[in-house]
Amino acid sequence: MRPKFLPVLLLVLAGCAAMPPPVPPRSATTAVTADELVVQRAILTVHGRQFTLNGYLSLSRAGGKRLVVTENFGAVLADVLVKPDGRVYVERSSALFRPEWIQRYLVSDLECVCGGAPPPDSTCQWSNPSHVVIAHPAYELDLQTLETRPGPQSPKLFAETRPDPS
């Protein structure tokens, strides 16, 4: 009798090991809340060319939003700080993400991901609480949330190192 149950037990255990981890409960229209660190993976499509990017988004009710975008090998492509009062500090830019582009597009996409309205010329489509596609006439951003670490973020993350933009 024992040999009959062994294959069944192995099938059940193998099926359990292949199950995906549960997605934390979230709103159907936004992937992030306040006071957390969000790790994201994105595919940016511009004029038919695709770029894979990593995003590290720190959110704080007191400090604002800090987004660092890197390429696959870790080089920083964009680093932007948005204070709670709306002031934008471009801490670092690159050839792929110029300061003007960061202020015009990256910040508006950040607001869309954080629950704000997308700009008039774009759409923000949520397929599930951890996946959003932001489409603009010039580009498309397919963004997947990989990990969320809730809790207070270090105030040092929200200290601007560049001069006041005003």
Kindly report the number of other CB atoms within 10 A of residue 105's CB atom.
Answer: 18
For residue 137, being part of any structural domain is answered with yes
CA torsion 161-74-21-65 (nearest 10°) is 20
pLDDT of residue 164 exceeding 80: no
| Portion of the chain with pLDDT greater than 70, in percent | 77
The per-residue pLDDT for 33 is 61
- Within a domain: 102: yes
- Condensed to tens digits (0 to 9), the pLDDT of residues 73-101 reads 999 999 999 999 999 999 999 998 999 99
Confidence bin at 166 (pLDDT 50/70/90): low
**In this predicted model, what pLDDT tens digit does every residue of 1-36 receive, in sequence order?**
444 543 443 334 344 444 334 333 344 444 456 799
User: 165 falls in which pLDDT band (50, 70, 90)?
Assistant: low
Number of domains in the chain: 1
Contacts of 104 by beta carbon, 8 Å cutoff, 6+ apart: none
pTM score of the predicted model: 0.77
Helix (H, G, I), strand (E, B) or coil at 92: strand
- Look at residue 40 and tell me if it is in a domain: yes
Residue 77 in domain: yes
Report the pLDDT value the prediction gives residue 17, as an integer from 0 to 100.
Answer: 41
The answer to whether position 74 is within a domain reads yes
> Is 23 a member of any domain?
no
**Structural domain containing residue 73:** 29-156
Helix H or strand E encompassing 13: helix 2-17
